[in-house]
C-alpha cells in the first residue's frame, strides 16, 4: 500500500504544480509579461519546487506546455520553451542540496533557449544578445528572487510535500 500512496502523492503534486503554473502564467499574461522580449513570468518561481519533490519536474513541464498553449504561443515556443523549463527543473533537482545554486539551471536554460525562440519563431528584430539579457533579468527576478522567497517559505514546512503518506500507511497497516 505504501507504494500506491507515494504514486498518488506524486501524481497529485505534479498536477497541482502544473495547475498553479498555468494559473500564474495566465494571470501575468493579462499584463503582457508572460512572453516576449521583456518577460517576468512569475510562474517560473515554481522552478524551485524540485528541491522539495521530484513531482515538480513533470508538473512544471506540463504546466509550461499548457500555459504556452493557452496563451497563444507558436508551436516552437510551446516545444522549446517547455523544454527549457524541463531542463531547468531537472537541474534544480540535481542541485537541491544547495538552494542558492538550485535557482541557476532554470535561469540559464531559459536565457539560452528562449532568446533563440523569440528571434527565430517570433521573428523579433532585436539582437539575440539583447533578448538574452532581457530574458535573463526576468528569470533572475522570477526564479532567483521569487523562487528563493518561495524556497524559504516552504523550507520551514517541507513536510507538506510528504504529508499524509506515513500516517496513511500506518493506518492501512494497522487495519
Does residue 72 surpass a pLDDT of 90?
yes
Closest CA to 38 of 125, 119, 127, 133: 133
Residue 32: domain span = 2-163
User: For residue range 113-148, what is the model confidence (pLDDT) as tens digits?
Assistant: 999 999 999 999 989 999 999 999 999 999 999 999
Q: What is the CATH number of the domain that holds 34?
A: 1.10.1760
pLDDT attached to residue 123: 93
In a domain, 108, yes or no: yes
Per-residue buried b or exposed e for 55-64, using 16+ beta carbons within 10 Å of the residue's own CB: bbbbbbbbbb
Look at residue 174 and tell me if it is in a domain: no
What does the pLDDT look like over 40-56, one tens digit per residue?
999 999 999 999 999 99
Q: Assess if residue 170 is contained within a domain.
A: no
The whole model's pTM is what?
Answer: 0.89
Rounded Cα distance between 113 and 91, Å, is 15
Residue 86 lies in a domain: yes
Computed on alpha carbons and rounded to an integer, the radius of gyration of the chain in Å comes to 17
Say if 172 falls within a structural domain.
no
Q: How confident is the model at residue 164 (pLDDT cuts 50, 70, 90)?
A: low
Query: Which of 11-15, 20-24, 74-78, 171-175 has the lowest average pLDDT?
Result: 171-175
- On whether residue 99 sits in a domain, the answer given is yes
Total domains, the chain: 1
Residue 90 within any structural domain of the chain = yes
Q: How far apart are CA 68 and CA 36, in angstroms?
A: 12
Amino acid at each position: 500500500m505504501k507504494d500506491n500512496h507515494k504514486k498518488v502523492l506524486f501524481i497529485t503534486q505534479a498536477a497541482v504544480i502544473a495547475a498553479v503554473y498555468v494559473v500564474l502564467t495566465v494571470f501575468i499574461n493579462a499584463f503582457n509579461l508572460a512572453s516576449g522580449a521583456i518577460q517576468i513570468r512569475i510562474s517560473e518561481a515554481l522552478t524551485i519546487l524540485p528541491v522539495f519533490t521530484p513531482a515538480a519536474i513533470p508538473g512544471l513541464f506540463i504546466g509550461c506546455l499548457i500555459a504556452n498553449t493557452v496563451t497563444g504561443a507558436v508551436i516552437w515556443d510551446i516545444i522549446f520553451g517547455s523544454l527549457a523549463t524541463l531542463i531547468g527543473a531537472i537541474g534544480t533537482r540535481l542541485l537541491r542540496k544547495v538552494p542558492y545554486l538550485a535557482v541557476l539551471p532554470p535561469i540559464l536554460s531559459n536565457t539560452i533557449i528562449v532568446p533563440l525562440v523569440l528571434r527565430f519563431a517570433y521573428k523579433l528584430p532585436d539582437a539575440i544578445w539583447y533578448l538574452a539579457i532581457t530574458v535573463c533579468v526576468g528569470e533572475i527576478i522570477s526564479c532567483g528572487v521569487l523562487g528563493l522567497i518561495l524556497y524559504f517559505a516552504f523550507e520551514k514546512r517541507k513536510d507538506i510535500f510528504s504529508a499524509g503518506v506515513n500516517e496513511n500507511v500506518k493506518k492501512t497497516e494497522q487495519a
